[in-house]
Amino acid sequence: MITVNEKKFALQTANTTYAFEINETGHALHLYYGKKVRFADDLSDFGMIRQKREFITGNTIAYDQEHLALGMEDTCLEVSGPGKGDLRSPFAELTFADGSRTVDWIYDSHMVMRGAKVRKTLPGSYDIMTFEAGEGLLKKRAEEEIADVLRLSFLEKSYKVRLNITYLVYENTNVICRYADLVNEGEEDVIVNRLLSLQLDLPESGFEGIYFDGAWAREMHSYHVSLGHGMHVNRSNTGTSSNRANPFFMIAKPQTNEDAGECYAFNLIYSGNHMEIADANAYGKLRILSGMNDEGFEWLLKPGETLEAPEAVMSYSADGFNALSYNMHSFVRQHIVRGEWKEKDRPILLNSWEAAYFKFDEGKLLKLAKRAADAGIELFVMDDGWFGERDDDTKSLGDWEENTKKLPHGVKGLADKVNKMGLSFGLWVEPEMVNVNSELYKAHPDWVLANPKREHSEGRNQRILDLTRKEVREYVVESMRKVFGSANIEYVKWDMNRIFSDVFSQGEPAGGGLKNRQGEVAHRYVLGLYEIMAELTKRFPHILFEGCASGGNRFDLGILCYFPQIWGSDDTDPICRAEIQQGYSYGYPLECVSAHVSASPNHQTLRRTPMKTRFAVAGFGSLGYECNLSDFSKEQMDEVKDEITLYKQYRSVLQHGRFYRGGMGPLADRVAGGDGTSVLYNPTGYGNITEWTMVSEFGTKAVGMMLKKMVQPNTQNITYYPKGLEEENKYRFFNHELSYDIRDFGDLVNTVAPIHVKQDGLLIDILAKKIKLPAEKEEYVAYGSLLMNAGVALKQNFSGTGYNENVRYDQDFSGKLFFMEEDDGTVPVSEETVEEIRREVEEKEEPEETAAEEINTEEVPEEIAKATDNEGENSNE
């Protein structure tokens, strides 16, 4: 809701309020952003919260002769410029034709539209939301999205440049967006050195900033810094939103945790270079800025031209990070993700990359696909290596013709066969790139971002296509149109594996070329990319697109406007992934993060982890498999099948539910008592236990996950605390644990085995196939309030002093799932119980050993007996 009285403005969402006013000099003074408050209907009580000024202090600059008490340095503003006494980092920096760089934004007019139909804006894309001059209407009504919209118009006092700031208020999701556009209404050129999107001036600086940095294979690592003094800059200059510093960040009061305390979240709907500045000044005020990175940025704004900045997103929560994330998740789900896949369940896929890399042919892929189909997987994806002479990463990017040696029947032949198996088919492309070793590069060496006067630096042996050029964009659209139309392609993984270097457009100056305007290239590249994505997603609306950039090097809201999911990281190790996915979870709903079960030892870390852990972590994302199922044993395949059945059963909760993190949150070390796991061994520094809960929309179902990184002996008791359940609902709580592999117990098996079993011998493998140790069973019926507040005291953990079926055995890297279902009074029988009953019945009918203690030498089959011959007598006996 937007309330306006004269020049006072109050923007209200369900739980938050944002307020500002125009003062006597025409500056927009920020007054309040926080928990929802009630103002007088005429907003006359703004006077109470307005900062009082009678005399200018010390050596600060007074605005002008008439306003000697007004110093910009100590004032909270909605927009700012340099040169008039405000010493903080400015919102916009311009150079006028006479060389002047002072900028002063003075209110000119405003316009309000309540309940407007809007579509999220991407600068320069085909569906930018703009106002029809004078009519107060939006030009484009591409999608039915309702928001209250307020546009404020400022004029630079001495030069004819207009700055429009548009606020979009999304009441239900507690999100307010804002973006800026700059119009040169004068007769001379203006150089834009900086045009940001968001400015939030808070009256206090006692905040912690929580940012997400990283690199390849270790994206979204959260860290926090005190924002009490000086300036902190989070920024990307990779040409993408980058894995080095995601544009999503938060600020919070120091005691804030996952479930309590004040915090704000910010993001940018943009996929290029960005920067987020927190500038705390000498007066204890904190300025938050976010927008396009101005390093190397310079935009020539000719008379009559407009420059649009991307849209920024902000939200506030008085109830900790989980509630803040929920705001961001709901916003992304409702207003960012669009198209046919917006609310659809995402398919479970098998991706060929870690299964085969470049080394495959049709036969190998079909074998994999068959395994996938048998396991219940729904989509088969052929990754890199299917086109040109692409046997490694040195060649063929740009030549999008299938490799007929690998695929004698073409993409279509493969897709048809895959379809016949009951799977849908998808493939990998990297349309923004070209290898020097390619036909495309030979034909158009100037189509890349490169300066012919200098040696080009290398990045994965490839060059970036110059998407600022129309003919290049047309080529990309046309070549992809051919690929996507060549077979029944229902999914596309759109990769981008090079960060920017040697940025230089060789486009001709005629026709809008960029000679001497190289400071515009990085931003124009992103605009070009959006144009291409818009065109292709419009032409192929049924395709599920997945973004990717060496994993998460371009994980942002701009990409999510077109591609509903993004490959979160090239790191598929579940222990790393838990950190990474938890990082994403602060700002992005988990179905937007695709996550795969991969091989063990893992290809990036060589770490061995149990399959159930890999599944538990990947299950809290859009699930896929990326491993060579063709090599899986029957036992492993059975496990995969079980997982897939389970995931399908809970997919709607996992992909559309409300997500909660356990523990104390990213500021844990600032909070007495640590992150709730401080008594446990914490070797990684990130917390030993990761605890997640996903709850269905109406709270009738929930899935929980607990991941333990390192075992610490003699820490028997651990409690799982679900969150988000309905307090008054009764739930059946149960776990998903079927059995343990006896090999996990190493040579402890010999304490009960009647014959000696060598740890890595053949015998143990054979025994392991026949004998499983029963796992602990957790099953309770309890009210939501009890489950959430007292928690579920899980079975005693194995501590080296004894083991039976009531002992929980968590080895290192153990991830376990829990389920909660509303108990409607019918007999509570879980899958596990059914399985148990089945086992018991079978045992009664035909007694069979289920535990190591029960091994009877009389009954050792012949093959085991043979193997024991080689292993010798048990020396302890």
- Determine the Cα–Cα distance for residues 819 and 817; give it in Å rounded to an integer: 7
| 598 touches ligand DGJ by CB under 6 A | no
Instruction: Write each residue from 345 to 364 as x if it is in contact with ligand DGJ (CB under 6 A), else as -, in one continuous string.
Output: --------x-----------
- Using the rule CB under 6 A, give the single segment among 238-246, 268-276, 543-551, 653-661 that binds ligand DGJ: 543-551
Comparing CB distances to ligand DGJ, the nearer of 248 and 567 is 567
Residue 831 CA: distances (Å) to CA of 275, 747, 784, 821: 50, 32, 21, 12
Comparing CB distances to ligand DGJ, the nearer of 270 and 353 is 353
Comparing CB distances to ligand DGJ, the nearer of 550 and 609 is 550
* Contact of 147 with 116, CB cutoff 8 Å: yes
| 279 touches ligand DGJ by CB under 6 A | no
Comparing CB distances to ligand DGJ, the nearer of 272 and 551 is 551
Choose which of 209, 551, 564, 666 interacts with ligand DGJ (CB under 6 A).
Answer: 551
- Using the rule CB under 6 A, give the single segment among 264-272, 510-518, 548-556, 776-784 that binds ligand DGJ: 548-556
How many residues sit in the footprint of ligand DGJ (CB under 6 A)?
11
- Determine the Cα–Cα distance for residues 488 and 278; give it in Å rounded to an integer: 49
| 737 touches ligand DGJ by CB under 6 A | no
Residue 135's SS3 state is coil
Residue 441 CA, chain-centre distance (Å), reads 34
| 573 touches ligand DGJ by CB under 6 A | no
- Determine the Cα–Cα distance for residues 578 and 814; give it in Å rounded to an integer: 12
- Determine the Cα–Cα distance for residues 354 and 351; give it in Å rounded to an integer: 8
In angstroms, give the least distance from the CB of 7 to ligand DGJ.
Answer: 51
Residues 6+ apart with CB under 8 A from 847: none
Q: Any catalytic annotation for residue 570?
A: yes
Comparing CB distances to ligand DGJ, the nearer of 209 and 568 is 568
Comparing CB distances to ligand DGJ, the nearer of 8 and 554 is 554
Choose which of 33, 555, 567, 803 interacts with ligand DGJ (CB under 6 A).
Answer: 567
On the CB side of 163, how many CA atoms lie within 13 Å of its CA?
A: 30
Instruction: Write each residue from 620 to 659 as x if it is in contact with ligand DGJ (CB under 6 A), else as -, in one continuous string.
Output: ----------------------------------------
Contacts of residues 760-768 at CB distance under 8 Å and 24 or more positions apart, as own/partner, are: 761/867, 761/870, 761/871, 762/867, 762/870, 763/864, 763/867, 763/868, 763/871, 766/861, 766/863, 766/864, 766/867, 767/742, 767/855, 767/864, 768/741, 768/742, 768/743
What the block records as the tokens of 27 is: 């500056």
What count of residues does the chain have? Answer: 877
In angstroms, give the least distance from the CB of 384 to ligand DGJ.
Answer: 3
Comparing CB distances to ligand DGJ, the nearer of 125 and 396 is 396
In angstroms, give the least distance from the CB of 570 to ligand DGJ.
Answer: 4
Give first-to-last CA distance, the chain, whole Å.
80
| 434 strand-pairing partners | 463
What the block records as the tokens of 689 is: 């236990």
- Using the rule CB under 6 A, give the single segment among 5-13, 143-151, 545-553, 795-803 that binds ligand DGJ: 545-553
- Residues in region 461-520 near ligand DGJ by CB under 6 A: 495, 497
Choose which of 378, 402, 570, 573 interacts with ligand DGJ (CB under 6 A).
Answer: 570
| 691 touches ligand DGJ by CB under 6 A | no
Query: Which amino acid is present at 217?
Result: A
Residue nearest to ligand DGJ (CB): 384
Q: For tokens 């991706």, name the residue.
A: 351
Comparing CB distances to ligand DGJ, the nearer of 9 and 567 is 567
| 403 touches ligand DGJ by CB under 6 A | no
Q: For tokens 């006597």, name the residue.
A: 24
- Determine the Cα–Cα distance for residues 330 and 335; give it in Å rounded to an integer: 8
| 731 touches ligand DGJ by CB under 6 A | no
| 386 touches ligand DGJ by CB under 6 A | no
Comparing CB distances to ligand DGJ, the nearer of 33 and 567 is 567
In angstroms, give the least distance from the CB of 651 to ligand DGJ.
Answer: 23
Question: Among 333, 316, 332, 214, which Cα is nearest to 269's?
Answer: 332
What the block records as the tokens of 192 is: 């834009």
In angstroms, give the least distance from the CB of 393 to ligand DGJ.
Answer: 6
Ramachandran class of 673: left when φ > 0, alpha when ψ lies in -120 to 50, beta otherwise = left
In angstroms, give the least distance from the CB of 410 to ligand DGJ.
Answer: 21
Torsion, CA 332, CA 333, CA 337, CA 341, rounded to 10: 160
- Determine the Cα–Cα distance for residues 355 and 407; give it in Å rounded to an integer: 17
* Contact of 306 with 298, CB cutoff 8 Å: no
In angstroms, give the least distance from the CB of 597 to ligand DGJ.
Answer: 14
Choose which of 548, 566, 654, 767 interacts with ligand DGJ (CB under 6 A).
Answer: 548
| Candidate list 104, 201, 570, 810, residue with the active-site label | 570
- Using the rule CB under 6 A, give the single segment among 6-14, 227-235, 544-552, 776-784 that binds ligand DGJ: 544-552
At residue 540's C-alpha, the angle toward residues 538 and 544, to 5°, is 110
| 546 touches ligand DGJ by CB under 6 A | no
| 384 touches ligand DGJ by CB under 6 A | yes
| Phi (first) and psi of residue 184, to 5 degrees | -85, 105
For β-strands 62-64 and 28-35, DSSP reports them as: unpaired
In angstroms, give the least distance from the CB of 345 to ligand DGJ.
Answer: 22
Instruction: Write each residue from 27 to 66 as x if it is in contact with ligand DGJ (CB under 6 A), else as -, in one continuous string.
Output: ----------------------------------------
In angstroms, give the least distance from the CB of 126 to ligand DGJ.
Answer: 28
- Determine the Cα–Cα distance for residues 82 and 102; give it in Å rounded to an integer: 5
- Using the rule CB under 6 A, give the single segment among 269-277, 547-555, 762-770, 861-869 that binds ligand DGJ: 547-555
Comparing CB distances to ligand DGJ, the nearer of 353 and 562 is 353
Residue 718's SS3 state is coil
- Determine the Cα–Cα distance for residues 530 and 513; give it in Å rounded to an integer: 19
In angstroms, give the least distance from the CB of 548 to ligand DGJ.
Answer: 5
What the block records as the tokens of 79 is: 């927009």
In angstroms, give the least distance from the CB of 238 to ligand DGJ.
Answer: 15
* Contact of 764 with 862, CB cutoff 8 Å: no
Residues 6+ apart with CB under 8 A from 724: 658, 660, 693, 695, 699, 702, 788
| Candidate list 495, 571, 642, 675, residue with the active-site label | 495
- Using the rule CB under 6 A, give the single segment among 66-74, 412-420, 546-554, 741-749 that binds ligand DGJ: 546-554
Q: Cα dihedral sign for 394, 532, 332, 594?
A: negative
Choose which of 262, 383, 556, 737 interacts with ligand DGJ (CB under 6 A).
Answer: 383
Choose which of 166, 267, 550, 565 interacts with ligand DGJ (CB under 6 A).
Answer: 550
Comparing CB distances to ligand DGJ, the nearer of 19 and 566 is 566
On the CB side of 361, how many CA atoms lie within 13 Å of its CA?
A: 6
Comparing CB distances to ligand DGJ, the nearer of 105 and 562 is 562
In angstroms, give the least distance from the CB of 432 to ligand DGJ.
Answer: 13
Comparing CB distances to ligand DGJ, the nearer of 495 and 810 is 495
In angstroms, give the least distance from the CB of 223 to ligand DGJ.
Answer: 24
Choose which of 63, 105, 428, 733 interacts with ligand DGJ (CB under 6 A).
Answer: 428
The contact set with ligand DGJ (CB under 6 A) reads 353, 383-384, 428, 495, 497, 548, 550-551, 567, 570
Residues that are catalytic = 495, 570
